[in-house]
Structure 1
């Protein structure tokens, strides 16, 4: 069915079920941990102040319950911190674990998936696709090889935008018998 030797590759961002509030990076976790620790200290100070007051009849239970809740939250955050350290991209999404915080159009950040697609230019049909958790860079050769297998032609020409530009990736694509056409980006990674 695929007879053309020209394939285009591009990535599309699809919003995930996870919100930014449920996506954590080391910096964001440190902020939340410090905030919870400060709240615990504030409540402990309130308890100490109540102990020193003459009126010992005041009920301490609500403050102690808040401290217990905050300590539980703190242990959850520290557990997340351990998990993040084992992630290759140093982030974790709690609602939709496969989604990632990525830069989208207009340089905004959203929790989403990056779907890589290769399209046959003659029929405008998707030749192959793959869901990734990373930006487009270093995806060219891998997706191009999948397209090469799908069309059944070894010597294909692959067109991609500047987000795919990587000297190593372009060389690997050429070594696989393909001709990559990728413009240099503003920031070039070799």
Structure 2
């Protein structure tokens, strides 16, 4: 290859275009290491890392903000309608440039109100409090650097070889609900019954721990 190496953007673009193939490659690699006997340990450590999204915090829209915006737009529309009614009572109404402009302005307000309402209702159906415009899979998460738009990358690592045996990107801002799904996915990847799972206090969740014990994890 004459020392030809791919640029990091090339790798990122390949991963973006072929996410299924990339995930299958990771599974095949773990399977290869498992069959070769390199993952014989029954001890796995899991942890979560916050990876920053491209979109900034300015692109975050909250459901509460949409409610306030919808109320404000309804108030503006009501004020416009009241103003038009007063004009009709004060003078004979005749179509003209001013009337057309008022109608267009009113239609723009109504369209913006409907768009805001649709966004709010969609967030309610999805059960989310925040939406990142332009990067809807990202979430506003707390990090040591403060709140930022990010992804929560869960990783399970074999404690002997330090090889990653499973990874998953989730939208939860903390790790409290990730113990059971990560333990079960790791158990499936390694094809082992009992596993010793190491996790920090961020995974402390009595319900999750009980489920893991019931499944011999």
Q: Give the TM-score category using the shorter length.
A: 0.7 to 0.9
Tell me the SS of whatever aligns to 1:67: helix
Distance 1:17 1:48 in 2: 48
Distance 1:59 1:142 in 2: 62
Greater CA deviation, 169-178 or 97-106?
Answer: 97-106
Give 1 or 2: higher helix fraction: 2
The answer as to 2:166 corresponding to 1:128 is: yes
Q: Is the 1:29–1:81 contact (alpha carbons within 8 Å) kept by the matching residues of 2?
A: yes
- Displacement of 1:172 in angstroms is 1.4
**Which position in structure 2 is the counterpart of 1:34?**
71
- Displacement of 1:157 in angstroms is 1.6
**Which position in structure 2 is the counterpart of 1:66?**
105
- Displacement of 1:14 in angstroms is 2.1
Distance 2:77 2:55 in 1: 28
The answer as to 2:61 corresponding to 1:24 is: yes
Q: Is the 1:17–1:95 contact (alpha carbons within 8 Å) kept by the matching residues of 2?
A: no
**Which position in structure 2 is the counterpart of 1:116?**
154
The answer as to 2:143 corresponding to 1:82 is: no
Of 28, 31, 41, the match for 1:4: 41
Give TM-score, length-normalised by structure 2. 0.66
Tell me the SS of whatever aligns to 1:85: helix
What's the C-alpha RMSD, in Å, of the aligned pairs? 2.9
Distance 2:56 2:72 in 1: 20
Q: Is the 1:50–1:58 contact (alpha carbons within 8 Å) kept by the matching residues of 2?
A: no
**Which position in structure 1 is the counterpart of 2:134?**
95
**Which position in structure 2 is the counterpart of 1:161?**
200
Q: Is the 1:140–1:164 contact (alpha carbons within 8 Å) kept by the matching residues of 2?
A: yes
User: Based on CA coordinates, which of the two structures has the bigger radius of gyration?
Assistant: 2
Greater CA deviation, 43-52 or 157-166?
Answer: 43-52
